[in-house]
Amino acid sequence: MSVTDPVQLTADLIKCPSVTPAEGGALVLLEERLSAAGFACTRVDRGGISNLFARWGDKDAAKTFGFNGHTDVVPLGDESAWTQAPFGADIVDGIMYGRGATDMKSGVAAYVAAAIDFVQKTPPNGALILTITGDEEADAIYGTTALLDYMDQQGEQMSVCLVGEPTCPNEMGEMMKIGRRGSMTAWFEVIGKQGHSAYPHRAKNPLPAMARLMDRLASHELDQGTDHFDASTLAVVTIDTGNPATNVIPASCRATVNTRFNDLHSGDSLTKWMQSEVDAVSKDFDMPISMKVKVSGESFLTPPGELSDLVAQSVEAVTGVAPELSTSGGTSDARFVKNHCPVVEFGLVGKTMHQVDENVPVEQITQLKDIYARILKDYFA
């Protein structure tokens, strides 16, 4: 029985130009490989986004190990700045180059290769489920959420789930994720009255009101962190009037803040706090202030236990490095999976993700397959 090569599979996936929302052939390729290995595959496309659900084993199995990943990639940026073909998967001095090499076609390839070999060589007493989306890098509206909706409708259930996002900052094996901070963005607009800057009493300047509001939000200490999370943060990312003139008081001013928050807060509680600040400043300056909020994901934590121990022990066995249990970084699709079952994340070193000349050492792809294979073996032991 042949061994599935994760390096070649990574290269084959990189050659699929799957910039969100394009499928690019990546999910078609995975469906072919998984179906040939005995996985029952179903396309779960929604809203112009391609998604793949695959299961090996009985639907009513007592233990089902899940994997979540994505094959969509971010745009190339300045293509002329690339020194290697962005979709060429060229290997130079042991390094494979291409968009998605790190984030996260290599992770998908490593797990698929491990899963195929596992079920063919040592069929487990249980089931494997893979949920692969084409909508992680964009708004994530029609991706993993569509797959989870499909699973709910079909009565499919993962006992636990591993997300294969890059998790290691610098060294293979050094970090895994047991949770993520929440993320939300808020947009504000203060409406004043335009006028000549030489006659400010005839205008209503929205800028001091916005400056006051932004200062109140940014200078407020949300918390001091928790056992598993750093302190929550709020960053003012833009303040703008669109006013090119130096002798005109503008009619309005807009600003945007981005908040990354831990499990002491929710999107709803932070929205209520920001609205109270808006109301106070609006009253002080006698100007209407509007606020619009988008919560990209709530914070969550999978408490250290059997699942994190299983992954950590497998990582250390292969790499010799005991991974830190972290909640740092941005959001991932684990924020959706956590509503379905316990979830942790482990993947490659992510230093070059989204960069020009994104790349991955080929030895790390092989290591990652070995880690995933050991996780599966020990889970079903």
Which residues are identified as catalytic? 72, 136
CA dist 333 → 261, 280, 317, 371 (Å): 17, 36, 27, 21
Token pair recorded at residue 131? 């949920």
Residues 6+ apart with CB under 8 A from 74: 19, 20, 99, 103, 137, 354
Q: Which amino acid is at 300?
A: F
Name the β-bridge partners of 195.
249
Phi, psi of 318 (to 5 degrees): -90, -40
- The SS3 call for residue 225 is coil
Residues 6+ apart with CB under 8 A from 268: none
Are 192 and 251 contacting, i.e. CB atoms less than 8 angstroms apart?
Answer: yes
CA dist 312 → 110, 173, 193, 206, 316 (Å): 17, 9, 59, 53, 6
- The SS3 call for residue 255 is strand
The residue with tokens 């029609």 is 142
Residue ranges of alpha helices (H) inside 262-361 are 267-285, 306-319, 334-337
Token pair recorded at residue 301? 């934590």
Cα 244-249-253 angle, rounded to 5 deg? 75
- The SS3 call for residue 68 is strand
